[in-house]
Chains A and B, each alone.
Chain A
């Protein structure tokens, strides 16, 4: 069903339309949430909360072309994921790890492309929360460091340094995988 029509029917409270929306986007949004939360269970909890909010507020969605519905959903899930991480940080469970001084200059696109998706995703999920969040927001979801700073309550410079540390850590993991798996 066309995105605009689907959103309208969901706004009308039509259950089949809500299920169709869920079936169409839940898989991708779950993977998105898992990249942030680092665990499948937490990702599903976040996705559950996100969909409840989505269905409650889909009346405010305005269609702006193909792909706009997913972009809207994505923002809600990203925001909810970051909120979840912030709650963990308030509860004192957010872990930070000092980055090693490994350089990331000696890997390239071909190295990354050789790694299976689930392995690559697992590497990102295994990053410390702070690094993982910044890496996801900047490298994959396209937020600027200024925006990340506002979302996470950190300075822009901190976001930038966290990102480069995340890159170095991830590069380390990639190199290690290639070394042991050819």
Chain B
């Protein structure tokens, strides 16, 4: 932007020529028109009814919580062949046509088992429009067509009341003016899509130990059988591979330090003062007197983020979760689940390569393989949880970022088999992974 042009004859040249017009030749429009069908695809501006989609998703989640319950557990000792995992393939976004402004949307294929939990809400949230026209986040995100007004002295000004903002605006205009056309158009698209890209992420998560909830690195040592143990009231350790409780434990069991209910116990893994049984009121598997040491769950999966408009986005995907437990009575218990989350989020953006976002929603898990002491069990129900997280992402490149996201979950429904989640329905986990932008 010209800072100041002398009030001389060049100003007169500008005044006379900047609005001058020439008549184009008759064939020019024909030449442009011939190219139009190939380069200017008709982009339907369809406003996503995200309000209706949000309402549908909320209604579906509420209906699922109210009406879906895990069915009764099988008879104890029954061995069932576990069915294969009901994986939920998600079709990735198609490659964006070269000239399209926004890539084509994704279609999520939800398996029938999860459809009952997440019906059309998923497709309602995931846009079906080829393109939508959305407002930008902030006026300063991109400058299109903005030209500071000029005063009579040909000095470009941006207002006298807000000099700092005017300078910022002018600088942005300067940057825009200095770009090549490709960079200019690319900048527009980048600014528009910076927070609103279709992206895919791979992640893993674990639950930090409660004693070190502030720790960043999950305590994965507990996953080792060798280190898993329970303590008696006197603090002595019971080996994890012990088949029978020690005598001291048996004495403790009879000492009244536990309540009279002979339902199964689970050891509170976070207890710092030794054995501290937590009554497990439901014992469909009739596992009495069994104290369980539950490993903190770990999971890994794929997430897909779809822009909704503005800074809003929807996130879904599929993940695998592993819950391991052991007890003094039996050997290990292992539950493998497949889950599908559905969340809505808001991207705050951030300075430089850092960006922040929050999301909340729900997730549904289905145990696909459960084995305890060599016996396979079937968990026919679906576990539902509300989930929320806050994520911070560092963009390594324009399209690839690494993120860290503490996530809080609350499990409304439980498995029949006791696990870490049944004992700690409200738990904090830490997700970390890579985020890849698609369609840029």
| Bound Cα distance A26, B185 (Å) | 20
The B77-127 residues at the A interface (CB cut-off 8 A) are 99, 101-102
- Of chain A, the residue at the smallest CB distance from B150 is A142
| Segment among B24-32, B362-370, B384-392 that sits at the interface with chain A | B24-32
Q: A57-B185, A83-B180, A113-B16 are in contact. Are A11 and B1 (CB under 8 A)?
A: no
Do A150 and B35 touch across chains, with their CB atoms under 8 A apart?
Answer: no
Contacts of B14 on A, CB cut-off 8 Å?
Answer: 139-140
B-chain residues with CB within 8 Å of residue A141 when the two chains form the complex: 18
- Contact-residue bracket for chain A: 35 or more
How many interface residues does chain B have, given as a range? Answer: 35 or more
| B23 interface hit (Cβ, 8 Å) | yes
| CA–CA, A8 and B189, complex, Å | 16
Supposing A47-B28, A79-B180, A143-B2 touch, asked if A124 and B17 sit within 8 A by C-beta, the answer is yes
CA distance A135 to B41 in the complex (A): 37
Whether A28 contacts B3 by the Cβ 8 Å rule is: no
On whether A34 and B1 interact (CB within 8 A), knowing A83-B180, A83-B181, A147-B177, the answer reads: no
In the complex, whether B42 has a CB less than 8 A from a CB of chain A is: yes
- Shortest B259–chain A CB gap in Å is 67
* A60 engages B28 (CB within 8 Å): no
Report the stretch among B139-147, B316-324, B424-432 that lies at the interface: B139-147
The chain B residue sitting closest to A107, CB to CB, is: B9
Query: Which of B130-138, B227-235, B296-304, B329-337 is found at the contact surface with chain A?
Result: B130-138
The answer to whether B145 and A111 touch across the interface, beta carbons within 8 angstroms, is: no
Q: Is there contact, CB below 8 Å, between A47 and B24?
A: yes
Chain A interface, >50% SS class: helix
Name A79's contact: one of B23, B39, B179 (CB within 8 Å): B179
State whether A143 touches B21 (Cβ < 8 A).
no
Contact present for B39 and A109 (CB under 8 Å): no
Contact of B185 with A121 in the complex, beta carbons under 8 Å = no
The one of B22, B133, B180 in contact with A8, judged by C-beta atoms closer than 8 angstroms, is B133
- Give the contacting residue for B184; candidates A18, A59, A79; CB below 8 A: A79
Cβ-defined contact, B188 with A60, below 8 A: yes
B270 at the interface (CB under 8 A from A): no
When the two chains form their complex, are residues B28 and A13 in contact, meaning their CB atoms are under 8 A apart?
A: no
CA distance A151 to B41 in the complex (A): 30
List residues of chain B with CB within 8 A of the CB of A6: none
Q: In this complex, what residue of B is CB-closest to A80? A: B181
- Whether A48 pairs with B178 at a CB distance below 8 angstroms is no
Bound complex: CA of A11 vs CA of B17, how far in Å? 30
Contact with B along A148-182 (1 / 0, CB 8 A): 10110000000000000001001100100000000
Contact assessment for A56 and B3 in the assembled complex, using a CB-CB cutoff below 8 Å: no
- Interface residues in A56-75 by Cβ distance below 8 A to B read 56-64, 67-72, 75
Asked whether B216 is an interface residue with its Cβ less than 8 Å from the other chain, the reply is no
Contact A108 B185 (CB under 8 A): no
Docked CA distance A119–B21 (Å): 14
Complex partner residue of A44 from B11, B28, B40, B142, CB under 8 angstroms = B28
Beta-carbon contact of A79 and B45 below 8 Å: no
Contact at A147–B178, with CB atoms within 8 Å? yes
Question: Among B18, B21, B40, which residue has the most Cβ atoms of chain A within 10 A?
Answer: B40
Determine the distance from Cα of A132 to Cα of B122 in the docked complex, in whole angstroms.
Answer: 58
Bound-state Cα–Cα, A171 to B2, Å:
20
Check if B398 is an interface residue, CB within 8 A of chain A.
no
Residues of B within 8 A of A19 (CB): 29
Is there an interface contact between B185 and A67, defined as CB atoms closer than 8 Å? no
Given contacts A31-B21, A139-B13, contact A67 B147 (CB under 8 A): yes
Distance of A31 Cα from B18 Cα, bound (Å): 8
The residues of B that contact A51 with a CB separation of less than 8 Å are: 32
Nearest A residue to B185, CB-CB: A57
Q: Which residues of A have CB within 8 Å of B144?
A: 60-62, 64, 68, 72
Residues of chain B at the chain A interface (Cβ within 8 Å): 1-3, 5, 8-14, 16-25, 28-29, 31-33, 35-36, 39-45, 99, 101-102, 131, 133, 135-136, 139, 142-147, 150, 156, 174, 176-181, 184-185, 188-189, 192
Nearest 6 Cβ contacts at the A-B interface: A13-B42, A68-B145, A27-B21, A79-B181, A72-B145, A55-B40
* Extra A-B contacts (10), CB below 8 Å, given A13-B43, A117-B20, A140-B17: A28-B21, A31-B21, A62-B145, A67-B145, A79-B180, A107-B9, A141-B18, A142-B2, A142-B150, A167-B10
14 contacts across the A-B interface (CB closer than 8 A): A40-B22, A44-B28, A51-B32, A52-B36, A55-B39, A64-B145, A64-B146, A72-B144, A83-B181, A109-B9, A112-B16, A140-B14, A143-B2, A146-B178
